[in-house]
């Protein structure tokens, strides 16, 4: 590889960094996503060939890196303190008075400060996960959670996947070489709803709020999954630096912004107490219009000199405070507590409430999450409770609020058996949820079938819960494939199904046979395999057969399929019952292939690996062409590889091909194969 090559690739990296800032920080992209992906792919391809020349700040290092062990501990340079809370303007005035008192202590008469002399910065208090980012000589070297404030967890690999965190910042002309910044990682409302929808369709428990979803995403052991969550960050302060070139908090934020860090545009400098006070009031309603969740404001004294003079208690600084608007809470009564069985058998307790109006909608159910949560809050049937609903969040029971002397029922006990099939339920060690392990449990069967038929899966119209209940309870349908054996006479006579609707249902079922592999994979309810994964798998394997025969390694080789999903797929296909089910689906003429994007099947089943630089087309173009002729392209050479195409500077893949006796093609030979 020549020095020019290296220079060329560094130029591309630099270009991507610039576009990252334009897109993720300044919200002003200059190129389309597709153009962006093209540049990035060039870098990825080049780096695959030259694994020794991948600097830690390459844009490609945001995805797919692996955290090999549980997170390690990181001691913070300065403690990550939390904030004291205030809930109304009286309490906020108390805070301001403490600030004045602290600053005026031991000062001469003429230096006494009053209301008009203290500037405050007002910021949004983003509801996410606090993190600390360390930059050394401009390079992002470490990211950690807050942890207990003194020691956090090293989540560098996961933080690298967040596009608005620059992997390097231009510090060369600054007076400091070491910079720690603090910020809040969060998910906006849209992303939160989408993740929950996906989790639901994958049979996983939904997150209770955006904060949990963000924290859960960041602390995943597989950064490839984190990379798919649209996490974002707002940087809200300096944590530590070896030289501090500014005198106020507001200036520090401007500096961080100028360095390319994503600060919140709603940060406002107020000249005095009165202005601050007005600004706080103005956010009470306005905060509901933000696209992300905030749990109030943070008000910080502006002068850094004052920060020093005021100092901190063991837990919070004396120069900052949180201002919280309480979420709307109402009082109602718990009429019953029931348990629901999900598609994967998890059992969730739900409180049935006397209906009440809260935050504009009538609420008659609230999740109680799990057994531990019920015990912790000691919630019982008949209790008067305070419930709360904020933003997009599922209504929740905040606390019991019985009047004194009210007689109570016994504490709630989880049932010993599944409320649907009466199989004994169990709680796996280390998990909070109880589970029904009976795969034939009618509740699970119904949930699975409903998911199978849902709009984004096989899209079977007219197969609602009322009809399914009767078909499952009557023993007519247990497996997906049973749906395809239904005849009109099985349906007529069902309650709430007119003959015309019965015929429509039969037609919809028939039509769904050709839904294709992408939808079918999603519909099967394989853990961790949702819509998107279905599409990726179908694009790469084209048929259920190929997928069934794919090894863990074959699966993992596909970009975006991490080890967790690969394992889940293998576990699914290894089960005899699932193999049988696929066989039955085939017998019923359900399409198990993707209505091929391939224009021909001339290269059907042929597996290619591309290595080295091609002169007449890009890797992408070559790949597209091979796919369109029915072939497959993988990234590493194995005995299953049919051809290795070696361009200039082919690297170790060519050697491996030789060793394994895999046919090696030159670019010209590839061309004639494609043009044949």
Binding residues for ligand IVH (CB under 6 A): 81-83, 123, 125-126, 130, 146, 184, 236-237, 298, 317, 320, 322
Give the H or E element holding residue 255: helix 249-258
Measured from the CB of residue 315, what is the shortest distance to ligand IVH in angstroms?
Answer: 10
- Neighbouring CB atoms inside 10 A of 555's CB total 22
Q: How far is CA 345 from CA 38, 434, 441, 443, in A?
A: 43, 8, 8, 8
- Of 10, 12, 151, 13, nearest in space to 78 by CA: 151
CA 276/CA 285 separation, integer angstroms? 16
Give the 3-state secondary structure of 288-308. Answer: HHCCCCEEEEEEEECEHHHHH
For ligand IVH, give the closer residue by CB, 123 or 371.
123
- Of 557, 566, 564, nearest in space to 608 by CA: 557
Q: Determine the angle formed by the axes of helices 33-49 and 619-628, rounding to 10 degrees.
A: 100
- On the CB side of 201, CA atoms within 13 Å amount to 24
For ligand IVH, give the closer residue by CB, 131 or 347.
131
Residue with tokens 């990726």: 536
For ligand IVH, give the closer residue by CB, 192 or 412.
192
CA 318/CA 672 separation, integer angstroms? 74
CA 314/CA 343 separation, integer angstroms? 47
Our measurement of the distance from residue 653's CA atom to the centroid of its chain's CA atoms, rounded to an integer in Å, reads 34
Strands 320-323 and 85-86, how do they pair? parallel
CA triple 147-150-155, angle to 5 deg:
40
Give the H or E element holding residue 227: helix 223-228
Our measurement of the distance from residue 189's CA atom to the centroid of its chain's CA atoms, rounded to an integer in Å, reads 12
- On the CB side of 25, CA atoms within 13 Å amount to 19
CA triple 25-26-27, angle to 5 deg:
100
At 462, give phi and psi (nearest 5°): 70, 5
Q: What is the DSSP letter of 591?
A: -
Our measurement of the distance from residue 479's CA atom to the centroid of its chain's CA atoms, rounded to an integer in Å, reads 31
For ligand IVH, give the closer residue by CB, 307 or 451.
307
For ligand IVH, give the closer residue by CB, 228 or 316.
316
Measured from the CB of residue 286, what is the shortest distance to ligand IVH in angstroms?
Answer: 16
* CA-based end-to-end distance of the chain: 33
CA 664/CA 670 separation, integer angstroms? 10
Cα radius of gyration (the chain): 30
For ligand IVH, give the closer residue by CB, 254 or 485.
254
Measured from the CB of residue 573, what is the shortest distance to ligand IVH in angstroms?
Answer: 43
Check if the beta carbon of residue 241 is closer than 8 Å to that of residue 176.
yes
For ligand IVH, give the closer residue by CB, 46 or 71.
71
Measured from the CB of residue 123, what is the shortest distance to ligand IVH in angstroms?
Answer: 4
Residue with tokens 């009165």: 274
For ligand IVH, give the closer residue by CB, 24 or 234.
234
- Nearby residues of 294 by Cβ (< 8 Å), 6 or more positions away: 124, 125, 126, 127, 287
For ligand IVH, give the closer residue by CB, 83 or 645.
83
Give catalytic status of residue 125 as yes or no: yes
Hey, is 90 helix, strand or coil? helix
Largest CA distance in the chain: 97
Classify residue 461 as exposed, middle or buried by CB count within 10 Å of its CB (0-12, 13-18, 19+).
middle
Classify residue 493 as exposed, middle or buried by CB count within 10 Å of its CB (0-12, 13-18, 19+).
exposed
Q: How far is CA 329 from CA 115, 365, 392, in A?
A: 34, 14, 15
Tokens of 58: 């390459």
For ligand IVH, give the closer residue by CB, 184 or 198.
184
Point out the residue whose Cβ comes nearest to ligand IVH. 130
Measured from the CB of residue 131, what is the shortest distance to ligand IVH in angstroms?
Answer: 8
For ligand IVH, give the closer residue by CB, 322 or 443.
322
- Of 584, 590, 630, 637, nearest in space to 606 by CA: 630
For ligand IVH, give the closer residue by CB, 157 or 321.
321
Our measurement of the distance from residue 303's CA atom to the centroid of its chain's CA atoms, rounded to an integer in Å, reads 37
For ligand IVH, give the closer residue by CB, 214 or 585.
214
Q: Which of 11, 125, 194, 286 is catalytic?
A: 125
CA 69/CA 27 separation, integer angstroms? 35
Overall residue count recorded for the chain in this entry: 676
Measured from the CB of residue 282, what is the shortest distance to ligand IVH in angstroms?
Answer: 17
Report, as residue numbers or ranges, the catalytic residues: 125
């Amino acid at each position: 590889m020549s020095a020019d090559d290296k220079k060329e690739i560094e130029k591309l990296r630099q270009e991507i960094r610039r576009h990252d800032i334009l897109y993720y920080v300044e919200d002003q992209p200059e190129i389309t996503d597709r153009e962006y992906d093209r540049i990035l792919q060039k870098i990825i391809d080049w780096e695959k060939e030259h694994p020794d020349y991948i600097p830690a700040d390459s844009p490609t290092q945001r995805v797919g890196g692996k955290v090999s062990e549980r997170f390690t501990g990181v001691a913070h340079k300065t403690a990550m303190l939390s904030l004291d809370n205030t809930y109304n303007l009286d309490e906020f005035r108390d805070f301001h008075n403490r600030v004045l008192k602290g600053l005026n202590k031991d000062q001469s008469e003429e230096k006494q400060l009053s209301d008009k002399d203290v500037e405050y910065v007002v910021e949004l208090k983003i509801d996410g996960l606090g993190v600390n980012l360390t930059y050394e000589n401009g390079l992002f070297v470490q990211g950690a959670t807050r942890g207990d404030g003194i020691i956090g967890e090293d989540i560098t690999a996961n933080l690298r996947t967040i596009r608005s965190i620059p992997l390097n910042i231009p510090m060369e002309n600054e007076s400091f070489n070491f910079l720690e910044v603090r910020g809040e990682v969060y998910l906006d409302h849209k992303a939160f709803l989408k993740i929950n929808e996906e989790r639901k369709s994958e049979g996983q428990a939904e997150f209770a709020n955006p904060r949990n979803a963000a924290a859960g995403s960041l602390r995943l052991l597989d950064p490839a999954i984190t990379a798919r969550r649209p996490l974002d960050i707002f940087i809200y302060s300096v944590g530590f630096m070896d030289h501090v070139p500014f005198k106020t908090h507001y200036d520090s934020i401007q500096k961080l912004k100028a360095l390319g860090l994503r600060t919140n545009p709603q940060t406002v400098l107020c000249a005095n107490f009165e202005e601050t006070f007005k600004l706080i009031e103005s956010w009470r309603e306005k905060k509901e219009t933000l696209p992300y969740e905030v749990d109030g404001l943070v008000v910080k004294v502006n002068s850094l000199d004052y920060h020093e003079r005021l100092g901190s208690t063991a837990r919070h600084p004396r120069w900052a405070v949180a201002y919280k608007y309480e979420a709307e809470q109402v009082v109602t009564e718990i009429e019953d507590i029931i348990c629901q069985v999900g598609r994967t058998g998890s059992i969730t307790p739900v409180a049935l409430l006397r209906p009440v109006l809260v935050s504009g909608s009538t609420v008659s159910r609230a999740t109680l999450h799990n057994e531990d949560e019920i015990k912790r809050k000691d919630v019982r049937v008949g209790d008067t409770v305070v419930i709360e609903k904020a933003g997009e969040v599922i209504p929740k029971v905040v606390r019991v609020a019985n009047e004194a002397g009210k007689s109570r029922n016994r504490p709630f006990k989880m049932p010993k058996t599944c409320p649907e099939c009466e199989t004994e339920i169990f709680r796996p060690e280390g998990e909070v949820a109880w589970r029904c392990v009976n795969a034939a449990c009618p509740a699970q069967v119904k949930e699975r079938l409903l998911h199978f038929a849902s709009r984004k899966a096989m899209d079977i119209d007219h197969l609602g819960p009322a009809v399914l209940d009767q078909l499952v309870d009557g023993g007519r349908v247990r497996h997906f494939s049973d749906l395809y054996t239904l005849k009109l006479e099985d349906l007529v006579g069902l309650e709430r199904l007119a003959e015309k609707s019965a015929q429509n249902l039969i037609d919809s079922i028939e039509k769904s046979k050709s839904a294709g592999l992408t939808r079918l994979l999603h519909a099967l309810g394989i853990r961790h395999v949702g819509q998107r994964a279905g599409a990726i798998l179908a694009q790469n394997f084209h048929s259920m057969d190929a997928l069934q025969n794919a090894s863990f390694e074959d699966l993992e080789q596909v970009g975006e399929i991490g080890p967790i999903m690969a394992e889940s797929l293998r576990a699914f296909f290894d089960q005899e019952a699932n193999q049988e089910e696929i066989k039955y689906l085939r017998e019923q003429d359900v399409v198990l292939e993707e209505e091929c994007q391939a224009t021909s099947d001339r290269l059907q089943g042929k597996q290619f690996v591309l290595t080295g630089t091609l002169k007449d087309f890009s890797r992408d173009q070559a790949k597209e062409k091979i796919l369109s002729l029915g072939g497959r392209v993988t990234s590493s050479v194995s005995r299953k590889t049919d051809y290795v195409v070696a361009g200039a500077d082919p690297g170790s893949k060519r050697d491996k091909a030789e060793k394994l006796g895999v046919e090696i093609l030159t670019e010209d030979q590839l061309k004639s194969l494609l043009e044949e």
